[in-house]
Amino acid sequence: MFVDRVQIELQAGKGGDGCSSMRREKYVPRGGPDGGDGGRGASIILEAKLGVNSLAAYANRKFYRAPKGQPGQGSMCHGRKGGDQILYVPPGTTVIDAHQGFVIKDLTHHGESFVIARGGKGGRGNAHFKSSANQAPRESTAGEEGETRLVILELRSIADVGLVGKPNAGKSTLLSRISSARPEIADYPFTTKHPNLGIVEADEERSFVLADIPGLIEGASEGVGLGHEFLKHVERAGLLVHLVEPKPVDGTDPLQNYNAIRAELIEYDPDLGKRDEILVVTKMEMEGAEEVRDQLRESTGKEVFMISAATGEGLAELTHRIMDQVMLRRQRMENEGEVVPKLRVSDESTATRQRRVPPHLAGPTSDLSNEHQAKDKEGEQVSRKQGRKHHGSGNDSGNDSDKAVP
């Protein structure tokens, strides 16, 4: 189940209460106050983590409470603090305050985290209140309450490339042909109801993440056909691949369909109109595909690719062109000082990880074998020591004889 928007309530842990205690021990007169402080309450932390693909884990649970701190005890024993609770969300999650509507944090990079609800401080024991004027204080303070926040988690998929177009334009089929993703495919519109991500391997060293955005229709920028739910996933795509069907099932004109989708993108966010775009005519085996290509080329002045997901023709050329565009964008971001987000766990981290060696191969017995036993090693050490002793005694006798000569 794909979930891209949830509302949850978060409550941090309460701080432990301070202790009011007096030291009473035999032979220790006037022991004085010895109440310890309470432990700090646990905080709730939101962290973006690769491998988490949706907010489905928070769909059925609406309230999260972090552990509280333990109270202090006598003999100056402080209470144990609560362990912080970490909630993992996909990269690209926006945290919104549910009451005021402002954005608290945008978690776009893997490993990025922040404290969304801070735990309460622990109370003070009566040992803190002793002074020359009050040598036997009885007062102590209670722990502070943890923060409580009602937040909205909204996921906007992060991908290098986003596939856009009218329903039934062949977006899911293209994703399934050039990646390992297996989205639902059927011969009717609106088969895709949520974004699907796939990793495309252009060659052994280069790859990119491709997002299949559900089909858009006229009025999507105003929310028609769940337009807002779909368009928000296009915002983070660095490159748009616009698929145009040569013969739509509803009989509409392909060029008008292209212009309509472009208008909806610009209406939703003007920056989307400035985004790099690659035009693709799908189902090139159908009649009239070349005419549609020529019309798009003449109208836009851009290069137009033709592909057939059924036969595989044109897929390799399109994949390499997309990869080149993605590499140029990444290089441009690095030159401008921006951080290129990691979209998947790197294979290099696992390749360079050192393999753990068993103790019998890493300790002093690592060089033992059937031919070289421990007793042989002990014999070599004994002979080596005797040789050093004999060599040292010979040097000493030689020095004595030299001294005896006048």
What residues form the annotated binding site for Mg(2+)? 172, 192
Cite the annotated binding site for GTP by residue number: 165-172, 190-194, 212-215, 282-285, 308-310
Pairing of strands 63-65, 5-11: parallel
Dihedral (CA of 133, 135, 138, 143) sign: positive
Q: How far is CA 55 from CA 6, 61, 183, 213, 286, in A?
A: 7, 11, 19, 18, 40
Cα-Cα-Cα-Cα torsion 370, 372, 374, 380, nearest 10 degrees, comes to: 160
Cite the annotated binding site by residue number: 165-172, 190-194, 212-215, 282-285, 308-310
